[in-house]
Structure 1
Amino acid sequence: MSTEKTTTQNTATENRQPKGELTFDDKVIQKVVGYAIENVTGLLGVDGGFVANIKNKIVNTDNPTDGIGVEVGKEQVAVDLDIIMEYGHNAHDIYKQLTEVITKQVRETTSLTLIELNVEVVDIQTQKEFDASQTSLQDRVTDAGSTIKEKTSDGVDAVKKTTSQAVNDDDNRVK
């Protein structure tokens, strides 16, 4: 009899779900959205603003969350994007692609439902203009640092050469 009772208790314990809840930090949803939109045709970038763009280049990270705002509930997500679209593409087609990929990836990754997607086109550029604008402060500082290093190295070499010649001249005079 006690075996029967124990079996029933174990079954009841096994069928009960543990208490607790699963939540997602805004940053997680921002990253899911950022990764989801990487290959949308006609989307050149998501604009995090001047300060955010410089900040990410200074610390040398590629942060997929800049320019992506989210509100995360227990079952639903709302997303705001500021985008730079490529000239020659249709904004409505880009919006449709964004809606499809974000809805799919948020659902597959988190089981949350996208209930709202607000997209603001903050700029339109050609691919060439966009590529040229991606030269960052860090890139410029790195280039300047390389130039300074080369010039310093050239200067040190010149001083060594001059010093070596002076020592040789002194050796010749002392004899």
Structure 2
Amino acid sequence: MAETATTRSEQAETRQQARVPQGRTGTDVPATERGRTSIADSVVEKIVGMSAREVPGIHSLGSGASRALGAVRERVPGGQRNIARGVKVEVGERQAAVDLNVVVEYGIPIMDVARDVRSNVISAVERMAGLDVVEVNIAVDDVHLPEEEEEEAPEGRVE
């Protein structure tokens, strides 16, 4: 059995021919074979941020420091709300992994909120981005307490 040796240029040509649909042009080629779509991490972060905020019981996203910075940034003229605050994603060609930092409302079972967030995030990312979500890790950083009514300040000793 004789083996034929191929040069690098022949190998490259063979690979190129394998990528080009042979004998199939125009409407015969499915749209899925006519290019590539890539989705930026920031796009998936926004999808995750919006879908997490939709869940009842979520007060806000982000750790204490990022929430404080975000509050300052929003008050600055021209400042914008950061939808992706508290969200970190890793996006591959077909899959995504999500890490979330959340603040939940007091009195709502945290495990129920986490389950609902996880379900909503997975559904939104898979529906909108077409990516398989392999994991959604949720870190509950704080509990938002109900606003306490300000008590009247006692009168000072000096008038």
Partner of 1:54: 72
**Unaligned regions of 5+ residues in structure 1, if any?**
1-10, 130-175
Post-superposition CA distance 1:96-128 (Å, at most 9, x none): 111111111101111101111111111112242
Give the aligned CA root-mean-square deviation in angstroms. Answer: 1.8
Deviation per CA, 1:102-158: give whole Å up to 9, x if none: 1111011111011111111111122427xxxxxxxxxxxxxxxxxxxxxxxxxxxxx
For residues 1-175 of structure 1, the aligned pairs below 5 Å read 12-14=24-26, 15-16=28-29, 17-18=33-34, 20-47=35-62, 49=66, 50-58=68-76, 59-128=78-147
> Runs of 5+ in structure 2 lacking a partner?
1-22, 149-159
- TM-score w.r.t. length of structure 1: 0.62
Greater helix share, 1 or 2? 1
In the alignment, the residues of structure 1 paired with residue 96 and residue 75 of structure 2 have an alpha-carbon distance, to the nearest angstrom, of 29
* Identical amino acids, percent of aligned pairs: 26
Extract structure 1 runs of 4+ deviating beyond 4 A.
Answer: none
Tell which structure's C-alpha radius of gyration is larger.
1
| Aligned residue pairs, count | 118
SS at match of 1:114: strand
What CA distance in whole angstroms lies between the structure 2 residues aligned with 1:57 and 1:73?
35
CA distance in structure 1 between the aligned counterparts of 2:133 and 2:90, rounded to whole angstroms: 10
For residues 55-84 of structure 1, what are the alpha-carbon distances to aligned partners after superposition, in whole Å with 9 as ceiling and x for unaligned?
A: 343243122111111100111111111111
CA contact (8 A) 1:44 1:127 kept: no
